[in-house]
A and B are shown apart, each in its own frame.
Chain A
Amino acid sequence: MRLCVLAGLVLVLATPSLAHGPTPLKVDETVTIAAAPGKVWALAGSFGSIDKWHPDIKSVQATGGDALGGERVLTFQKGATLKESLDEFDASTFKYSYRMQDPNLDALPVSSYSMTLAVRPGSSGGSEVEWYGRIYRGDTGNEPPDNLNDDAARTAVGAFLHNGLQGLKAKLESK
């Protein structure tokens, strides 16, 4: 019990609340979906409804809608939460960008990120959805532990994007 509390403390201390170290990491996942871009956007383009298609997300609490400054709090299946806010929303090009507010290492081992989700026509019909962004590892100090280093951040966020896009595809291609 005491060890647990201690470990928790160390984690908090090792996590700069200021985030954003000097080495950004790139994440980029794409999926093709057999549905028209407008139909894909109707589901994926609602900032507050990610829980309808992302298998890792249990629920969402959204405020402000699909407008600049709109916010959503994601509750992951494992219980941890993460708050994100909209920076750009362009319904004419089917694209939105957002950023993480405060880090929560129990949700994802990153200290900050900004992401874009874009829907476009596929090269051979249907749609292509790209979800990409810039992330920073969980511990931005010079000696990050293995669970908070660059690889851990890239792997966890890469899997989060991948799972989401697969969920979106499954939802839109079912029936």
Chain B
Amino acid sequence: MGARLAVLGLLVGLSIEASRSHAGDLFTVCQDESLVRRIDTGTNEVTGSLPVDAGPAMATASPGGGYLYVTHPDHGEITKIDATNLSILSVFRFDGEPFGVAADANGRFLYISDWSNDRVARLDAESGADRGNISVGSKPAGLVFDPQTHHLYVANRESDSVSVIDTQAMQQIAELTVGEAPFALALSPDGNYLITANVRGGDAAIIDTKMLVVLARAKIGAAPYGVAVTDHADRGLISDQHKDRLTIVELPGGQLHSTIEIGRYPEAIVSAADRAYVANWFSGDVSVIDLSSERQLTRIKLCEGPRGMVLINRKTSVSGQ
């Protein structure tokens, strides 16, 4: 009976999803509650909750959307999660303070920034086994992998720089000075632009990834913390912890386009089509932004201490089965 109801619910859910353009699963890491929460972006409702080990921080998904990987910097662990069933598959031990995480193009490797050891580690995404290391700048935080060039970009918070790594050779090919204390970074879907949120500098650097130069530094506010790029690569979205708002800048020039009031201490941002989602760390909720009208549509109450976020497009994961 219960199972039949559940199946029915699933079918109804799927048919509703099919009629909406925002179908997807938004996963948020709740650091203070040691949970991963799932929101259905078609209905903006919380549809799942998974307890994980203490102190989870950042997260990424495998390329097909089948797996999630969550870091636990205080406990030297990475949790691998089945994203479809929302269940834990394994916990990798990590010798260091694993913070940022990125997956490569085919889901074979994970790249982990080791906050206290100034290195990026490469792990086997299946087993968690050590598959190499590279030294980077001081206090590496955000990571992003470019599937087209196989380059990995690393925000070195206390070196004021971004390391550009050729992951096929596991060699650093450049280190760019980007501004004071870059924490998060985001790559445009075409791979042409990289944006960093410089926490102490109060600005965002826009980088041309072909020329490896900083094109512009956009003034944001007191503490830019999270960043995303729209699908069309025409806008950068930056959260500002002290102004409780989302700033939208034009790419590649960095001109201020607009600002939107959101929750307190906003951090991670993800963007897909005409939506952006921002985790408000202090408020414990997620702001849903409509990028066409540049308005906050709603705030979804979620948990204490939301940090990293991952959006998996339902269509992608369904077609991948």
Contact = CB atoms under 8 A, between A and B. Distances in A.
B128 interface: no
Contacts of B55: 22-23
Contacts of A22: 55, 57, 73-74, 97, 99, 115
B12 to A, nearest CB: 38
Consensus secondary structure, chain B interface:
loop
A26 B264 CA distance: 11
A121 interface: no
Contacts of B188: none
A88 B222 contact: yes
Specify which of B76, B139, B222 lies most central, judged by the most chain A CB atoms within 10 Å of its CB: B222
B166 interface: no
Interface in B166-207: none
B305 A26 contact: yes
Contact of B282 (A21, A26, A99): A26
B138 A23 contact: no
Interface size class of A (residues with CB under 8 A): 10 to 19
A23 B31 contact: yes
Consensus secondary structure, chain A interface:
strand
A20 to B, nearest CB: 8
B32 A26 contact: yes
Interface in A1-49: 18, 20-24, 26, 28
A134 B73 contact: no
Given A114-B241, A134-B265, A24 B222 contact: no
A18 B242 contact: no
A27 to B, nearest CB: 10
A114 B32 CA distance: 18
B57 A88 contact: no
B281 interface: yes
B52 interface: no
A97 B158 CA distance: 23
B242 A87 contact: yes
A26 B265 CA distance: 10
A9 B209 CA distance: 44
A134 B97 contact: no
A21 B242 contact: no
A132 interface: yes
Contacts of A116: 242
Contacts of A122: none
A141 interface: yes
A142 interface: yes
B117 to A, nearest CB: 11
Specify which of A24, A28, A88, A99 lies most central, judged by the most chain B CB atoms within 10 Å of its CB: A24
Nearest to B222: A87
A24 B76 contact: no
28 contacts: A20-B139, A20-B157, A21-B73, A21-B115, A22-B55, A22-B73, A22-B97, A22-B99, A22-B115, A23-B55, A23-B74, A24-B305, A26-B32, A26-B305, A28-B282, A87-B242, A88-B221, A88-B222, A88-B243, A97-B222, A97-B242, A114-B241, A132-B264, A132-B282, A134-B265, A141-B116, A142-B73, A142-B97
